[in-house]
Chains A and B, each alone.
Chain A
Amino acid sequence: EVQLVQSGAELKKPGESLKISCKGSGYSFTTYWIAWVRQMPGKGLEWMGIIYPGDSDTRYSPSFQGQVTISADKSINTAYLQWSSLKAADTAMYYCARPTIMGGFDAFDIWGQGTMVTVSA
């Protein structure tokens, strides 16, 4: 079964760092892009960026460039989203997602279960 399994919910304080993960299984992890999508409480979906684990080619939405870092470790089939200094405004559900076609940009047919990040003093 093709799936993406994300790390668990996080409760952090403003200014702290954080790295959440997304582990792929059931397919060739290095040959599909992996995207990150934010959903703030009660709001819509926002595309943050995307990485190709095969060579770590990474693209960011201008809205998130410089605010987060997307990375991947292909040896353990895992993609990451990290913050160096969290803000209360980073409180959201974060999803990883995989496009339908190998090696290309396409709609997302496989989604992780989401990681809830809460930033509060």
Chain B
Amino acid sequence: EIVLTQSPGTLSFSPGERATLSCRASQSVRSSYLAWYQQKPGQAPRLLIYGASSRATGIPDRFSGSGSGTDFALTISRLEPEDFAVYYCQQYGSSPWTFGQGTKVEIK
């Protein structure tokens, strides 16, 4: 089973700042099958990035994904008020598919 580690658990930023979130895999993720999701309280997760770097439909271009192998990142170029949420990475290249434990992006 591939273990995904997201650290730190919480990041604090001011609106307008740039945020970079990390996701490290315990072994290489096949074909960069790595996704990022955003979840707000009381809502289902929302797909942001798939294939490590492709934005999902309707996702603003301030969100970008990068990385390959075992190291991946989600970057939010300028934080908007609605971006403060919890973010999860997920690998879907090897069964069982696994999620990271999440990074909460909070307002400083």
Interface of A toward B, CB cutoff 8 Å: 35, 44-47, 50, 59-63, 95, 97, 99-100, 105-109, 111-114
Stretch from B17-25, B66-74, B75-83, B91-99 that touches the partner: B91-99
B interface, over-half SS: loop
- Are A107 and B101 closer than 8 Å at their CB atoms? no
Chain B's nearest CB lies how many Å from the CB of A79? 16
Cα separation A59 to B99 with both chains bound (whole Å): 17
- Are B44 and A114 closer than 8 Å at their CB atoms? yes
Chain B's nearest CB lies how many Å from the CB of A69? 17
- Are A107 and B92 closer than 8 Å at their CB atoms? yes
Chain B's nearest CB lies how many Å from the CB of A20? 15
Size class of the contact patch on chain B: 20 to 34
- Are B100 and A44 closer than 8 Å at their CB atoms? yes
Cα separation A99 to B50 with both chains bound (whole Å): 11
What chain B residues lie within 8 Å of A111 (beta carbons)? Answer: 44-46
- Are A100 and B50 closer than 8 Å at their CB atoms? yes
What chain B residues lie within 8 Å of A108 (beta carbons)? Answer: 35, 37, 45, 47, 90
8 A-B residue pairs with CB within 8 Å: A44-B100, A45-B45, A45-B99, A47-B90, A59-B95, A100-B47, A107-B90, A111-B45
